[in-house]
Structure 1
């Protein structure tokens, strides 16, 4: 601690020398380290000046005086509160020095809220058993002593009879106490499981209520009415159609109407024996029942029998939610087990119970409000984008993602378009994804109008598995057959014709399937008609529906997913199958870079001529062909495709009525030439007549001539 010696100070020189250096003549070393201090001095400083040391000393003292050597096991409530406050203050003082004050505060708060421990109850139970054993031993001893004394007290018969009666009473009392202890033990065990399930269900119902996104639908009101008279109800639907939320809402309303009922939400049959109580009516929701364990559920016949016995006693009502595919797999179970003899099956995707346009709008609006999405009601909104970030609205960018947590402006026409969709994923789930995930919000109607990446990947996985598996390969081939060669019939719907593709057993040609195996897997496989029929039945569990002797796609999203998958191995074959919506929304050119989770069909450059032909033929039949000008096919300004479109317009020989030709024949060529800069080409020549404008232009190595009516073109430009 000290360095070189110095000359003693003036006062020190007057003192008698002791032979050693005085303090004033020694220089202190700078930056004294802990190890330089004497251990005794360190201990003295810590004991007298450290807050932690004092706190630890206080805690040790309290432990010794209040717990280890306490004279009696009781303390007044006021003293206990003061004692508890001192303990907490000293613990927080230590935590503050260690930088963990928040963590310790949370632990202390949790301790205040923590319920009585089951371990403590079990200890009390063991203590009771132990005391009972001591009581039994004492009684037996007294009993033997008393019996031994009876012969010596023959003359005192009255006293003996009283003693015997007393002994009998003690024996009866011991038996009753033993029985009560056993009942208490059983109640503690049963209540712990049952109460935990009740608390879990109540927490889920409360969370569902606070979310603020749910709207009551007609299905809920119908189910509540059914459960008043029925004992078993099944609510089915596709994934994301709102089964779980509707189930929680039904439990919530039933609990509010019937305070004495106990409500439970279960995933499996494991806890069935724990929830049913003889003196209480229970309503049990089995959410996603029979989903991943349908075989196990089918084998648990004794549990289903157990539930049926309580139904006959009017002590339980059962409510199942499940996917349509699972309901199809469990058809045999529902038709054979007596539990489901009187069930009512409600399909959320049926015409009767599907969401109305009003319900969809209210649901979507709720999600928008919670997720900071503002709806623009202006007809002529100054924002070109259908979805815009409010902070960047003044400078919109075409490919800008909406930041997380930022306010978003959504045009009313986009909402109207979303409401008209029937997404395979389920409208409620699409609302959640669209409003919560900013990537989905940026993709506007695509997330609800077109299949999800999950469904497309499922079809792709099926295709890949078919490489080494004949059955999976045949599944994929059957889907391709229905898409491309299936018997087509037209369904009249709201003045538009919708074409449904279907596979009819009588029209099956095994050679077609052999050819598709060659295209998809480069395999020469003999396919039997019996195999095709069998695999079609298997596919009805997820992808195909069966009606009037024909197999068809269950949903348009499945058909689109198969189309997208097949486009990756046979582009030319899928181009004739493209609709105008496909062309506008998801068809992209070969240089396009898709966003995360964006669904696209990429067309390579060699197939631009076929694509151009399909586009032009589609435009002739469209009520609003101007939508095409907003598509990525045009905004990307790919010169090769634009030239192919112009060639196709020039060569179009189909003669349609006057109005059908206006956009394609007279307006579109000028729009395309302007986008490529050809209208400014010095080699371009224009010859005018009164009602006609003849334009000659060289594109590539070809010279083409277009006849345009300028008045019609101008009118189309103003639309």
Structure 2
């Protein structure tokens, strides 16, 4: 190549025309290319503007407007030029092949080789070999020395920086052009493929449209037939409606009568449900009364309460936790049970849910335990005011035959605040069991402790310490006996009676007798029962991590009760219980395991037959100990439930 144009291009143009002046013959192969768009793209001109002169390289289109690939394509269309015998135009032919086609293939090969080269450099040996072959190809195609001078000029031409830059740009342009030609060829193949697919799809679509039109015609005929049939059916239906109008009227009257019967029946069912609830509550209360009656000791407070109830309908028992409010109210219920009163025990807000169970015209002995709560003692206007209004109105009624006992746990200043909240407390008699007049005597305390020890199968020894003149005691203060029972030295009993407990003596005795670990502590337990109970809960908390699934469930049951107040074996909050289990890596709730776990702790900490009814913690002190133990690890969670 040289600055005046492309020598190879001029040589090939000469071969195309071969001194032919017939425009049709020279233009035909070019028109063939125009049909597929290649020539139009290369020359940047339309097919209609292309003239014979432009093919011959005359102005305004010079030989620089012709691309080598285009010219070779034109030659391939020329039947007078045969391609090389081996490889055609796409491979470098042998040096010995002197045909025009071989020379054209040689020029094409080296042109592509340079166009795809990574850099525009050749060493001297490579350049000499390449130049020799190109020079020979030009000589053969030019049929002599017609173009040799131009080849020699190009060979000896001096390259300054600007010339070198132009040539480099020409090579770069050639590379881009080659890539564009390949891309365009590939795109035309895709166009041909898509055109063929479109034609095939168009034919298929026409057939499908014809079939759909046929289906539409059939459907329209069917619709017309159905409309005709429907008109006939409507006519017949109208006749049937007239025929049965009278029957429907009669049936409507019967339906009204049936609705009235159903309402009466529903009212009866509702009443039956209340009767069932009433019976269950009565039975539960009787069971608790019987349980307390076996161990209860008649104290000075009992006599005073009976005196009050014989003259008044409403009694309020107030005391610190563990003082024996529940046990006393149950004993009072037993006394009135013998006088044909029917006892009903409600805990905290149960009375709100079960108010309809009470018929104030009948002899009911009603106990509402811890009406204002067991720990967070407060008066709630929405809850307490409404139910106290109902109780107050009915208890003051002339036809009322009931007795009502309310137990209230004392906190500093709580009594004065609570009893000023409602009129019912102005009419009721209030007994403060913490008053010195009702303090337990030594004999009363002794009887309470011994009765509870017997209830939980803890026996007392017969050592000589019983004799005031002797001082010998047993070898051990607490001894394990056959059958997993315990025996206490009588000295332990006497020492216990000398202690003033942190909270109520009756509750301390109950926990001491029912829990073997407390019993074995002896008098040390009574030195600080609350601390011992907290330590017991912390031990259960630790066992929940380290021992079996039963221990895990048992501690979760205690936490559940501390938060929810009661647990119903057949109506457990599975989501909350699963949340508790998850703290110990076990979120799978299993009812059978729950039942077995409840059985293991019911005597120690619970009250109520869990197989038949919801059960609760025996006392608020147990709840407090549970919350202290659980709250050490999860304080925010405990606060959210308080």
TM-score of the aligned structures, taking structure 1 as reference length: 0.35
Query: Greater Rg, structure 1 or structure 2?
Result: 2
Task: Specify which structure has the higher proportion of helix.
Answer: 2
